Amino acid sequence: MTLKDVSIKSDKDAALKVEGDGNVRLELDGKNELKSGANHAGVEKNNSDSKGTLTIKDDTGEKGSLTATGGAQGAGIGGAKNNSGSNIEITGGTITATGGCNNNEAGNGGAAGIGGGFNGSGTDIKITGGNVMANGSRKPDGTSGCQGAGIGGGYGKGGTNISISGEDTVVNANGGKYGAGIGGGAMGAGENITISDGAHVTANGGAQGAGIGGGSGIGGRVFFVRPGTDMKELINYLEEQVVMIQTGEALTC
């Protein structure tokens, strides 16, 4: 499927929704804008009705961009309200994904820029190329509100298995008022987050939210890993072992 100079704004429904068991490849050509109504994601991909992988790409030679904005409680790209978003891959393009806030006002709730809607997690998200801006839980005026992650979980849920790689990849992830930049929304954890191969990543958490890790109310650990480390083996080890780290210490594996 190709989006070419498309502008879709819906007051009630999702501007674009992915459903079914198969994989979907979305090519970006020109300038594209998708904005959804309340409770829906800008590009909606709910775990409940989409089992395949959504790949957003820009590889036909014509530069493409996408601005995807969720309605109240919907992710920019991912889950609608009360839905998780997973199996999302970005390989190219200039992308701005912004999650919606609670009734478009500050307060409890909110969705991720990329990942889960309100009360939804964000899992298996991979970015291997492009220039990506992900903003969690923004009010209509663009200011931070509510409690979703930039990339990962919406309010109350976590972000798991998130990877960013590639020396030409640029990612800016900004959490909502209490969400992590990359990881969990407020009261949600961030787990198995990997940045590798020289990717350029800036992650800003909201108040009490980690840049990378858990949202407000949840702790977390960050490990700096040497190139060549067997990540699968390391993750298995960390999941099975108790690792104690005192404040101020850094652990290098």
Please give the full DSSP string across 92-140, using - where no structure is assigned: SSEEEEEEE-BTTBSSS----SEE--TT--EEEEEE-SSEEEEEEEE-T
Task: Please give the Cα distance from 150 to 114 (Å, whole number).
Answer: 6
pLDDT value, residue 105: 47
Q: Please, which residues have CB within 8 angstroms of residue 229's CB and are 6 or more apart in sequence? A: 253
Confidence of residue 108 (pLDDT cuts 50, 70, 90): low
> Which of 145, 146, 80, 135 has the alpha carbon at shortest distance from 113?
135
Sign of the dihedral through C-alpha 184, 119, 150, 77:
positive
Q: Is the confidence at residue 245, as pLDDT, over 60?
A: no
Q: Are strands 85-90 and 122-127 parallel, antiparallel or unpaired?
A: parallel
| pLDDT (tens digit per residue) in 150-207 | 999 999 999 999 999 999 999 999 999 889 999 999 999 998 898 988 899 999 998 8
Confidence of residue 65 (pLDDT cuts 50, 70, 90): very high
Task: Please give the Cα distance from 14 to 177 (Å, whole number).
Answer: 24
Q: What per-residue string of b and e applies to 96-115 under the rule 16 or more CB within 10 Å gives b?
A: bbbbbbbebebeebbbbbbb
236 secondary structure, DSSP code: H
pLDDT value, residue 206: 87
| pLDDT (tens digit per residue) in 209-238 | 899 999 887 766 666 677 778 877 877 887
